[in-house]
Amino acid sequence: MFGTINLQSFGGENMDYFSVIQTAVDFIEEHLYENISIKDVAREVGFSVPHFYRIFPAVVGETFKSYMSKRRISNGALMLKESDLKICSVAFETGFESHEVFIRSFKRIYGVSPKESKALETLPLYEKIDVMRKKTLLEKGAIILNTKIVVRNSFRITGKTIHLNQAEQVKDSLIDKFFNQFQQEKIKFPTINSESIIYSMYEYDPECIFEDDENINYLYTVGVEWQEGHAIPEGFVQKEIPQSKYALFVYDKEKNTLNGELLSSLKYEGKPITDVYDYIDGVWILNSGYTLSDKPDFEIRNATTKGITEYYISIEDHAN
């Protein structure tokens, strides 16, 4: 079975498998909405069908059929999310023979119907795989975590904002102090205190993240989701977090894991990672093929799941 193939063994002459499968992926993407078969793709790259059947998932992590289905449905889900197109139109646009087949495939992947998906707060995406980037990372020995790419609806938060200097924040742990201060202040306001989910939002120039300079300045807001009809207490502000594409990272403080991997097993410039953002900014972003967008990043903490923090990093499509 294809699951027995060890990707780490693709060395020397065998490393050419990556370029072959990249060609296959590019061919699939060019004909994504057409009625192509595994035989068509295998012929394109000069493999027999059995050989391609085994090698493709060993490199990509998905079978040919699964990859095509997820890519088409994901694109269809995004069309529904970002436009007023009807389901039958999206089904046609993405190459399905009928909207019934589209709906069945959609439910199999997302667990909900296309109509229900429009109301989802967060929509997971299945993006085109960059095989050659995967090869480069394998050769470098870099660990790139499995990271969900999602689209999240816009929403508003009510909270407190502070202007921070990064050097001062690192030196005096200003974010922790401000967060704890907010926790104490929210107790005074029942409508705010009743919310168990707390959001932290960062507003800064995305280019600053690449600078070796701790003197960057940014706005930090901590708050709860604003409910329609609720008054904004004096001294509090309302901020909108716009709809965007995000890379989602989940940190478990008790287990010290990031997306299921021990944080201490990850490296940053040859040194063990001790901070989540060291990995996100210094490793993942620089090797992911994505670019930062100009929309704010945010974090979510839930009082009912202590020690779990979700990091939403606002990104744009793969860099050229």
What is the CATH number for 6?
Answer: 1.10.10.60
pTM: 0.82
Same domain, 162 and 270: yes
Burial 203-214 (b: 16+ CB within 10 A, else e): bbebeebeeeee
Domain CATH number, residue 261: 3.20.80.10
pLDDT tens sequence across 157-209? 999 999 988 888 888 999 999 999 998 888 888 888 888 899 999 997 655 55
Same domain, 187 and 301: yes
Q: What DSSP string describes 248-287?
A: EEEEETTTTEETTEEGGG-EETTEE--SHHHHIIIIIHHH
* CA distances for 12 relative to 4, 9, 15, 139, angstroms: 19, 9, 6, 11
Predicted confidence (pLDDT) per residue in 250-259, tens digit: 999 999 999 9
142: confidence class by pLDDT, cuts 50, 70, 90? confident
- Of 112, 140, 159, the residue at which a domain comes to its end is 112
**Same domain, yes or no, for 1 and 91?**
yes
Nearest to 60 by CA among 144, 135, 136: 135
pLDDT tens digit sequence for 236-252 = 999 999 999 999 999 99
Minimum mean pLDDT among 18-22, 71-75, 131-135, 205-209: which range? 205-209
Same domain, 22 and 156: no
75 and 191, same domain (yes or no) = no
Question: According to the model, what pLDDT value does residue 247 have?
Answer: 96
* 250-to-5, 32, 54, 220, 280 alpha-carbon distances in Å: 29, 31, 32, 20, 11
Report how far residue 306's alpha carbon sits from residue 227's, in angstroms, rounded to the nearest whole number: 23
Whether 143 has a pLDDT exceeding 50, the answer reads: yes
Tens digit of each residue's pLDDT (9 = 90 or more) over 92-138: 999 998 999 999 999 999 999 999 998 888 999 999 999 988 888 77
Coil vs helix vs strand at 86: coil
Tell me if 144 is assigned to some domain: no
Please give the tally of structural domains in the chain: 2
Residue at which a domain ends, from 112, 136, 166: 112
Residue 142 lies in a domain: no
Predicted pLDDT of residue 266 = 86
Domain end position, chosen among 88, 112, 136: 112
Q: Do residues 157 and 224 share a domain? A: yes
| pLDDT score of 222 more than 50 | yes
- Tell me which residue range forms the domain holding 175: 151-316
Q: What percent of the chain has pLDDT over 70?
A: 90
pLDDT recorded at residue 175: 92
- Claim to verify: residue 55 and residue 163 sit in the same structural domain: no
Mean pLDDT of the chain: 86
